[in-house]
Homo-oligomer: A and B are copies of this chain.
Amino acid sequence: MGKERGVTAVKPIKITDTTLRDAHQSLWATRMRTEDMLPILEEIDEAGYFSLEVWGGATFDVCLRFLGEDPWERLREIKRRVHKTPLQMLLRAQSLVGYQHYPDDVVREFVSLSVKNGIDIIRIFDALNDVRNMVVPMEAAKKAGAHVQASVVYTMSPVHTIDHYLETATALAELGADSICIKDMAGLLTPFRAYELVSLLKKKLGIMIHLHSHYIGGMAVGAYLKAAEAGVDVIDTASVPLAFGASQPPVETVVRAFQDSDYDSGLNLRNLFHIANYFEALRKSRGFERGITRISDMRVFEHQVPGGMISNLVSQLEEQRALDRIHDVLNEIPKVRAELGYPPLVTPTSQIVGTQAVLNVLSGARYKLVPGEVKAYVRGLYGRPPASINHDIQKKIIGNEKPLFERPADNLEPGMEKAKRDSLGLARSPEDIMSFAIFPQIAKKFFEERKNGIIPNSEIKTAASAVKETKAAKEIWTTG
């Protein structure tokens, strides 16, 4: 094969490394510390990656809440060591790196500060594929000079047709996206579906397409192969000690798989193994598990509930001493999801659907107990659901109240002035004010501990306790 094949043009596949963000978020409860990252950064920078996803998602929250680390400082420390490869972050659209929608002034300022501190590429997604929630962050990213990567979240439902993705992606391209990401957070994208979707997107939009998949049930390498044949530009992988299972496919496999083809990435396996050795030593020293595929992960093919979400459901049920109801909950989830208009199961809608399903099963009466975030969802405070919410269920939850028709953030008061005021005497920088604007209590505690010099910077959690701690804090019930 190789260059003499001649049927297709030589088109090396580009690769993004997620080891420092999504991989440890998916496998290690986001517990990699800045000090763990720094020694290997120069080597990763030399490897030839398209970009390094190192920031955003749950990392911001976990830095402040559990690691006693300033997330902005982490970003600057990384930037200081990475000179060749663009740094990438994941942004939850109007929710930024949090779990609710923030006012536009906070969104604009956050994006501006992210770029100022070192981010080159901003991947933006909205859990409902509600394009209105992506307008302001995209504008802000564009203005700050970043590469704007707009995502379509991939899921399966009667309304998530190929046309839905094409229309959404077209709208995002028209909003000025520099590239489109297909975000397959549950590893549901089959290889032949990937081929179809990427082909159509390339044909219709002609811009760079980036495929983000999770290993989970094991289809991602196949999806990447067929996506490459359809013209995908970039794919996401992780170093093997942080690959597989709930994380991304291993870079080493993908690099080798493409070596016999016109898509050869050009990355060097020897270098990649050297990097992998570093992370394997780190993994062992912390007692973190590898990514593995259990039957429960495979079952995503049946019920579409990602493995990470299942383990959170298990924790919730254990707390209630009701683990024997797990199968009832797994059967309830698709019903709740349908009734709520088929939201994709990604942060924060995975929590919304999951919590309601648990309550429906445990309370013995469906929608008898409805938590605040489900009410907020039905009120339209997260945006427009992909399909209509079941009328009876809606009535049960919010009565005759009319759901919000506008973009949720249109109803929010500006937040920066208040954050500045309330963080006075604690915040030392615009970045501190921003941390406070997003997570006021957590940031306040962090600032106070920092002032008193009791930041637990050297306290290394064991894997088991870290994972347990994260599950207990329902705000970090992240999927994606």
Interface residues of A (CB under 8 A from B): 1, 190-193, 196, 217-219, 221-222, 225-226, 240-241, 244, 249-250, 252-253, 256-261, 269-270, 273, 276-277, 280, 290, 292-295, 298-299, 301-302
Contacts and interface: CB of A to CB of B under 8 A. Distances in A.
How many subunits of this chain does the assembly comprise? 2
Contacts of A1: 192-193, 196
A233 to B, nearest CB: 19
A193 B249 contact: no
A371 to B, nearest CB: 31
A279 to B, nearest CB: 9
Given A261-B192, A292-B290, A217 B276 contact: no
A306 to B, nearest CB: 14
Contacts of A240: 293-295, 298
A257 B190 contact: yes
B295 A276 contact: yes
A219 B221 contact: yes
A260 B192 contact: yes
A257 B226 CA distance: 11
B218 A260 contact: no
Contacts of A259: 190
Contact of A219 (B217, B256, B280): B256
Contacts of A217: 252-253, 256
16 contacts: A191-B257, A191-B261, A192-B260, A193-B260, A217-B252, A217-B253, A218-B249, A219-B221, A219-B257, A252-B301, A253-B298, A273-B295, A273-B298, A273-B302, A276-B298, A277-B295
Given A252-B217, A252-B301, A257 B295 contact: no
Contacts of A269: 301-302
B219 A302 contact: no
Given A226-B225, A301-B256, A250 B193 contact: no
Given A218-B249, A253-B217, A191 B225 contact: yes
Nearest to A297: B240
Nearest to A194: B260
A240 B217 CA distance: 10
Closest 9 CB pairs of A and B: A218-B253, A192-B261, A190-B260, A192-B260, A256-B301, A252-B298, A193-B260, A222-B225, A276-B295
B250 A218 contact: yes
Given A219-B257, A253-B219, A295-B277, A270 B225 contact: no
Contact of A221 (B222, B256, B273, B276): B222
A222 B215 CA distance: 13
Contacts of A294: 240, 280
Contacts of A191: 225, 257, 260-261
Contacts of A192: 1, 257-258, 260-261
A379 to B, nearest CB: 36
A128 B293 CA distance: 35
A384 B113 CA distance: 68
A244 B190 contact: no
B241 A295 contact: yes
A392 to B, nearest CB: 30
Contacts of A222: 221-222, 225, 257
A254 to B, nearest CB: 9
Contacts of A258: 192
Given A191-B225, A191-B260, A273-B302, 14 more contacts: A190-B256, A192-B257, A192-B261, A217-B256, A218-B244, A218-B249, A219-B221, A219-B253, A222-B222, A225-B226, A244-B292, A253-B298, A280-B294, A280-B295
A115 to B, nearest CB: 35
Contacts of A260: 190-193
B295 A292 contact: no
Query: Max chain B CB contacts within 10 Å: which of A192, A241, A244?
Result: A192
Nearest to A190: B260
Nearest to A2: B192
